[in-house]
Amino acid sequence: MAEANSFKLEVRSRPDNVGLVRLAVAALAAAAPFAVADLEEIKVAVSEAVTNALVHGYGGRDEGWVLVEASLSAEWLRVVVADRGCGMEDVGLARQAAADGERLGLGVLFMETFMDEVAIESQPGAGTRVVLQKRVPAPSAAALGREAASDGP
**Any idea which residues carry the catalytic annotation?**
48, 52, 103
Q: Does 109 bind another protein (CB under 8 A)?
A: yes
Q: Are 22 and 91 in contact (CB under 8 A)?
A: no
Query: In degrees rounded to 5, what are phi and psi of residue 66?
Result: -120, 125
Q: Does 56 bind another protein (CB under 8 A)?
A: no
Dihedral sign for Cα atoms in the order 88, 90, 92, 97? negative
Q: Does 134 bind another protein (CB under 8 A)?
A: no
Q: Are 79 and 34 in contact (CB under 8 A)?
A: no
How many CB atoms are closer than 10 A to CB 52? 25
Q: Are 24 and 56 in contact (CB under 8 A)?
A: no
Nearer to another protein, 4 or 104 (CB): 104
Q: Pick the binder of another protein from 63, 101, 151, 153 (CB under 8 A).
A: 101
How many CB atoms are closer than 10 A to CB 119? 11
* DSSP annotation of 35: -
Site for another protein in 6-25 (CB under 8 A): 15-16, 18-19, 22
Q: Pick the binder of another protein from 2, 37, 141, 142 (CB under 8 A).
A: 37
Q: Pick the binder of another protein from 25, 54, 82, 94 (CB under 8 A).
A: 54
Residues that bind another protein (CB under 8 A): 15-16, 18-19, 22, 37, 40-41, 43-44, 47-48, 51, 54-55, 98, 100-104, 106-107, 109-110, 113-114
